[in-house]
Amino acid sequence: MLTSLAGMGAVLVPRAVYSTPTAGSFDPAAIDAIVGAANALPQLHTLIVASRGEVRIEKAFRGLGPTVPVNVKSVSKTVIATLVGIAIERELFTSIDQPIAPLLADKLPATPDPRLERVTIGNLLSMQAGLERTSGPNYGRWVSSGDWVRYALSREFVDEPGGRMLYSTGNSHILSALLTKRSGRTTLQLARDWLGKPLDINIPPWPRDPQGIYFGGNDMLLSARAMLAFGQLFLNSGTNDGRQIVPKGWIDQSWTPRTSSPFTGDSYGLGWFIANTQGGEPFYYAWGYGGQMIYVVPHAELVIVMTSDAETLSGRSGYVDQLHDLVRSRIIPSLEAGG
């Protein structure tokens, strides 16, 4: 659908972009209203809106701008999940139903809970492992430990595998460890080869654990334009410039609701949150702390990227709700009206 986004630098220029309105696009008044509403959010750094494969809005309000890699926080989890999907296609894993314990036998507790034998790759991807979370109040103790994988696998079970959603960065980090072990390559190398090169995006190194495993659920560095290319890849059913990068079946699995967030009520698939527009159509989003967002809206052929200041933001500020409202109440309706 969109060869013009294959080489991101050739299309996007380092300034605000307002394209000539076309069918299925925004009129100038709608663009002004969207940009004005976005600018009123002091934490918002960058906004990019692409409709039908063409950039309609690109605006850097503050911060480093759309070309500079920034910490995308838990958007990392969505990228890691995508690498797992590619790894399954390449037969590094059998399926999402593959148990993880035999693959990480050297990291299991001395006397493991029998339920560890039932935890699957899919449970980690959908945050349904049942293990006590390593996020939230437990995060500091986890990243201060000498072995992040062993620590995450040694947590007590607070639910059964496949039970309720327990959002835990440790789950994604275990996936990074599995990718590294099964491929014999670092997660950075896989991300660059499987996503960076075919999408023509820069993926810089990001932090690693004490064993050298790249952080599987946080602190990945991507520019807003790289996030756009990633979102466009999912909108295009896993293809870029005519090449299948991510299996289409993986995208279907990723966007199938498996559980729901206890914090927002939104559904969750494999690394993606799932919500509905005002008209009831589904859309999908990757969410990093503080407002690092990728929205994919298939029925409107729309990808929206936001980067934000996460350093001064309170976790319960309601800011992400404001970003959702900008998407639901302004951007999507404006596009639908324009079409």
Grade residue 15 by pLDDT with cuts at 50, 70 and 90. very low
pLDDT at 18: 41
For residue 27, what pLDDT is reported?
82
- For residue 25, the model assigns a pLDDT of 64
| pLDDT of 259 above 90 | yes
Residues contacting 257, CB < 8 A, separation 6+: 267, 268, 269, 274
> pLDDT, tens digit, for every residue of 269-302?
999 999 999 999 999 999 999 999 999 999 999 9
> Taking residues 249-271, what's their average pLDDT?
97
Does 14 score more than 50 pLDDT?
A: no
* pLDDT tens column, 36-70: 999 999 999 999 999 999 999 999 999 999 999 99
For the chain, the domains span 8-68+223-338, 75-183
The CATH T-level fold of domain 8-68+223-338 is: Beta-lactamase (3.40.710)
* The pLDDT value given to residue 80: 98
Helix (H) or strand (E) holding 29: helix 28-39
Q: Mind listing the pLDDT tens digit for each residue in 213-256?
A: 999 999 999 999 999 999 999 999 999 999 999 999 999 999 99
Averaged over 317-339, what is the pLDDT? 87
Query: Are the beta carbons of 309 and 43 closer than 8 angstroms?
Result: yes
With 0-12 CB in 10 A as exposed, 13-18 as middle and 19+ as buried, what is 116? buried
Question: Which two tokens mark 140?
Answer: 């500091």
Averaged pLDDT for residues 161-183? 98
- Is 114 within 8 Å of 99 (Cβ atoms)? no
Residues β-bridged to residue 303: 50, 296
Q: Which residues contact 138 (CB under 8 A, 6 or more apart)?
A: 132
306, 249, 295: which is closest to 272 by C-alpha?
Answer: 295
Q: pTM of the full predicted structure?
A: 0.92
Does 12 have pLDDT greater than 80? no
Residue 232 identity (one-letter amino acid):
Q
Which of 125, 106, 220 lies closest to 171 in space, CA to CA? 125
Predicted local confidence at residue 24, as pLDDT: 54
Residue 22 clears pLDDT 70, i.e. is over it: no
Query: What local confidence, expressed as pLDDT, does residue 316 receive?
Result: 60
pLDDT confidence band for 205 (50 / 70 / 90): very high
Looking at per-residue pLDDT, the higher value among 334 and 114 belongs to 114
Q: How far apart are CA 293 and CA 315, in angstroms?
A: 15
Residues 11, 228: contact at Cβ < 8 Å?
Answer: no
- What was the pLDDT predicted at 21? 41
- pLDDT of 169 higher than 90: yes
